[in-house]
Structure 1
């Protein structure tokens, strides 16, 4: 008999326990093991060399924080059954199971509007059949259909264990200290009121620090101009490859990747769609880009070389859209330099927007000593919350270095 009550040594959280056998079985499943080959942060390692961690790391870390949060709530008198605890840990463990190659970068590129959460639910249902319905409650929690709302809020909200893990983990691997939030302090301040997740009022500054840390991580790391460009290039490469394949051009690629390059419309996912998707990972994309650097198509070849050789396009960043005439000038110079007619394939304006905290969408509530709940931004003790609920947008213009 296999001992399934394992302990995993994690560089971020230390030792992670697996307290239920079903958790071990899910981790061992091929769908979950695929996450070892899916980057947590796309091509971020082109900018921060240490950012080579995977979705597998992150899912285990989020599961650990879920366990810690539920143990904290139980100590505060919140009744949580073993089935609920197990299901909440299963739900967070599987919350990213539907991520495709390079995580968010190629989302919607391979299977149209199949967002990773939609794919996660599809794969969770597939696995639930294999495990004879043991994931029923976990799926309810994941979908927000379980009658105790705080379980879903721990999985997906403005203050969930998913965000707590990826901020601390991405901060660790990138070396950007601004994201190193105190997860233990935040979790120790969690509570439940009327079956909703709340924060003990004395924890307000830890929450504000968490929100600002997330904001800085987005602008300094995730939305870094070169990071945004690299992610955009991946999308451009796959879009160009799809166009060429649809025009009858022959491109070398793995069978699973070619399957998605040839398909343009996905309605209800077929068994073959699922099988192909769950056999696809970062390696398929990297292999294809290496092949395509030698493509006869100038644009595809140039874009792939940019990523593989890390000879990325030049970027400029602005707080407002770039002048149309300036962009046209860059396109004209590109057309002349590359002897092509459509320089828009190599000159792009992309934007990134962030709302650090939304006071309308699932606001964070503070629990006062008298039992009343107030929203974070309405606390008389808040310092930053009323200032970080405004969206901010940056514009990035990219063009070949040759011009």
Structure 2
């Protein structure tokens, strides 16, 4: 314990209370401080200009929610014996460390970077925690030699205490609760708001993990609907996806050019060459952040390669591709759109894309979701029921694939009368008139 708790001011949680030396030491490591330089929402800031918050702010927020859960469990549901399914506060430190470090493996523009270079942020998180080369590992080993492996097993969901695992990773966990509230605040969208205090009050530990008192069902429903709305209105926004497509194509072009002389002896090669050649080490990964990639993009503005130069400028100057929604009726017309793009002088490999965005806001019984993460409610008589079995509201969106599929193309094509004639042809016009062209 710290001799006196420290606090961080936070717009979501007011104060974040640091009460253990190991937590303060982890926050001060090189690897955790790197998260200040990685945006939480990647390209979403091109759509919602306030979304400049970082993985750092989210991570300390997840820690704070987890700390509050531990406090409530200790106060209201302390264990009396090892088989009663109640809270053993000896698990507090591993829970808090796992909460703080759960996103430490995220890289620069993480999801797009992962797609291009086949990295995995969860694997990188485990590597950072368990590698003897990292400051994080050294701090964790001050607790015990096997403590890094314990924390890593929470991330991989193999830790034996299900309550700890579900605090960090489940259908309603500290991670999701913080990012919904935080992303809602910074984007200016009110959809992500829900009653965090009430949800924490109705959480209870039990033998199979975490359960919710049935008196709090409406607060849980509100959380589910908030998540649903944030995906539809913020995370799936077509302009954000357009900028992600641009970033994807930009990195692909750089990767292709890395095999030629075009990118030789540049700043970008010194940082990205290990990823182009698939020889990257953990240290190479930790050298990257959003700023490093943005510096590469700025240098690529002056590239001799026209495509790389143009895509870098489009990304840095926020020149998103336009998009049109694809339906079963219009999917067959995609080859014609590709031909139009090529006729206009653009390489379809770098100036078109089909991007879909689907999510399961909540699913009760699916092979793709671990049943231990289902939201379960406990009645006054002690019987347990799964949320969607009694909530008509949640049942209505359970198991639904929600999102859309869009075709992205250069905005400049809309200035050509023959090309726009095709886009507003009967096949597409209904969608354009309904604002599906964005």
Whether TM exceeds 0.5 here: the answer is: yes
Aligned residues: 389
Change (3 A) 1:70 1:9: same
Match of 2:397 in 1: 388
Shift of 1:87: 1.1
SS in 2 for 1:295: coil
Distance 2:157 2:341 in 1: 49
Gaps of 5+ in 2: 80-86, 414-438
Are residue 324 (structure 1) and residue 337 (structure 2) matched?
no
Q: Is the 8 A contact 1:317 1:397 kept in 2?
A: yes
Match of 1:260 in 2: 274
Higher mean alpha-carbon deviation, 78-87 vs 280-289, is at 78-87
Change (3 A) 1:399 1:60: same
Match of 1:372 in 2: 383
Change (3 A) 1:261 1:246: farther
SS in 1 for 2:181: helix
**Which whole-Å deviations, capped at 9, do the CAs of 1:105-154 have from their partners, x for residues lacking one?**
322423x2x31111101101123355423434322322222222111011
Are residue 292 (structure 1) and residue 300 (structure 2) matched?
yes
Say which of 361, 372, 375 aligns to 1:356: 361
Match of 1:72 in 2: 72
Change (3 A) 1:140 1:323: closer
Distance 2:125 2:100 in 1: 11
Distance 2:307 2:348 in 1: 9
Q: Is the 8 A contact 2:73 2:205 kept in 1?
A: yes
Change (3 A) 1:279 1:208: same
Gaps of 5+ in 1: 267-271
Shift of 1:336: 2.7
Match of 1:174 in 2: 187
SS in 2 for 1:395: strand
Q: Is the 8 A contact 1:253 1:284 kept in 2?
A: no
Match of 2:318 in 1: 310
Match of 2:203 in 1: 190
Shift of 1:46: 0.8
Q: Is the 8 A contact 1:167 1:217 kept in 2?
A: yes
Q: Is the 8 A contact 1:7 1:16 kept in 2?
A: yes
SS in 1 for 2:397: coil
Are residue 220 (structure 1) and residue 220 (structure 2) matched?
no
Query: How large is the RMSD of aligned CA atoms in angstroms?
Result: 2.0
Distance 2:269 2:139 in 1: 26
Shift of 1:253: 3.3
Q: Is the 8 A contact 2:263 2:269 kept in 1?
A: no
Match of 2:408 in 1: 398
